[in-house]
Structure 1
Amino acid sequence: MPRIPVHTIDSAPEASQETLRVLEKQFGKVLNIHGEMAHSPVTLAVNAAMNAAIAEHGTFDARTREAIALAVGAVDDCAYCQAAHTLAAQGAGLTEAQTVAIRRGAVDFDPKLDALLAVVREIAGEVGEVSDATWDAALGAGWTDAELTEAFAHVAANLYTNYFNHLARTDLEFPAAPPLQR
């Protein structure tokens, strides 16, 4: 049961309404997470601003962005984000089996992506700390310092939504991500 009711555009505070309109156009509806964030215009605006900065300045393709989101969602155990990004990742060209592999940390289908996601998982799971071995392995796999630095922005944006979903107990409005066999 969610802690925070989901606003519609009309019921949201005036300062959240335009951002909700933009998000509704982008996603085809007001997602539960956005309708909950709308209670606090600053919370919704920060989320929108981070994503706008990534869209404007980011260099990763959709497949890589979704893989990062899946890895962070798995580290944080965010059911909402794992479900949302499983669908988005499939739209970006990953198979369901690949999305599960990413969430499990077993990306044997793409060694370069695996090296990036190792950095991502350490950022998310170790409060920003990344071992020299993990960093060096990512560089060795072909990622640049600039790309590894950009990965931090993606992790931060995903941590923001993961943590908000834990706080709000956001209800899923799409199918749950496939379970992980551990």
Structure 2
Amino acid sequence: MTEFSIYTKDTAPTGSIPTLEAAEKKFGFIPNLLGELAESPVAVEAYLSLSGTFGKSTLTPAEQQVVLLTTSYENECHYCMAAHTGGAKMAKLDEGAIQALRAGEPIADPKIEALRGFTRKLVVNRGWVQPADIDSFVAAGYTRANVFEVITGVALKTISNYTNHVAETPLDDKLAALKWDKPAKAA
């Protein structure tokens, strides 16, 4: 079985060191995900660059976390579900909404539920949404630009979710309290 290293600033390929230094400055530590992505300077830089770009979207920070959590739920990514549960709390997303996202259930707030539902349809249908799905999303208060911002968030999480699956990324100690396992569906 192939095992991947979790690089530090001291062990990373030279081209990844500046990106890891920037990540440590931003987060206060180097998350295991980034330590693994550092195997490829291009991959770790691309991920952080896209993350920064998505952060500039017209979606609120809480709405961005809805996109990231929904994508991570559908892709069954234990690491990103824990990380973005913390992100959602920092973004002041309603606790009930956070718990619904962690359970893969509808959210009480209709606008936020429209965002969750649209994101979910994008992920499970691999981008093949119906015109009615877009119309419903826009009717809930979002814009056509938000459609593409959601796609950007899904792309961001696809990079990290797939990385975590391939590398079997262990959860950082700082995320242990937010551990997530996909709930079993009722028969």
Q: In structure 2, how many angstroms separate the alpha carbons of the residues matched to 1:145 and 1:9?
A: 41
CA contact (8 A) 2:102 2:180 kept: no
Partner of 2:109: 110
Deviation, 1:96, is 4.2
Does the CA-based 8 Å contact 1:7-1:38 persist in structure 2?
Answer: yes
CA contact (8 A) 2:72 2:81 kept: yes
C-alpha separation in 2, matches of 1:130 and 1:117: 14
Aligned-partner residue type, residue 16 of structure 1: S
Distance 1:163 1:88 in 2: 19
Q: Which residue of 2 aligns with 1:51?
A: 51
Q: Percent identity?
A: 33
1:137 to partner: Cα distance: 1.2
Secondary structure of the residue aligned to 1:127 is: coil
Shift of 1:3: 2.7
How is 1:1-182 mapped onto 2 (pairs within 5 angstroms)? 3-55=3-55, 57-173=56-172, 174-175=175-176, 176-177=179-180, 180=183, 182=185
RMSD of aligned Cα (Å): 1.9
What does the per-residue CA deviation read over 1:74-97, in whole Å, with 9 as the maximum and x for residues that have no partner?
A: 000000000111111111112444
Matched residue count: 181
Aligned 8 A contact 1:70 1:102 in 2: yes
Distance 1:24 1:64 in 2: 25
| SS of match in other structure, 1:149 | helix
CA–CA separation in structure 2 for the residues paired with 1:95 and 1:32: 27
- Contact kept in structure 1, 2:101 and 2:107, CA below 8 Å: no
Structure 2 residue ranges without an equivalent (≥5): none
CA distance in 2, matches of 1:91, 1:49: 21
Contact 1:124 1:159 survives alignment (8 Å): no
Distance 2:140 2:183 in 1: 27
Does structure 1 conserve the Cα–Cα contact (< 8 Å) formed by 2:89 and 2:95? yes
* TM-score normalised over the length of structure 1: 0.91
Between 89-98 and 123-132, the greater mean CA deviation after superposition: 89-98
Q: Is the 8 A contact 2:47 2:156 kept in 1?
A: yes
Residue 59 of structure 1 aligns to which amino acid in structure 2? T
Q: Given the superposition, is the C-alpha separation of residues 153 and 179 from structure 1 closer, same or farther in structure 2, using an over 3 Å criterion?
A: closer
Secondary structure of the corresponding residue to residue 12 of structure 1:
coil
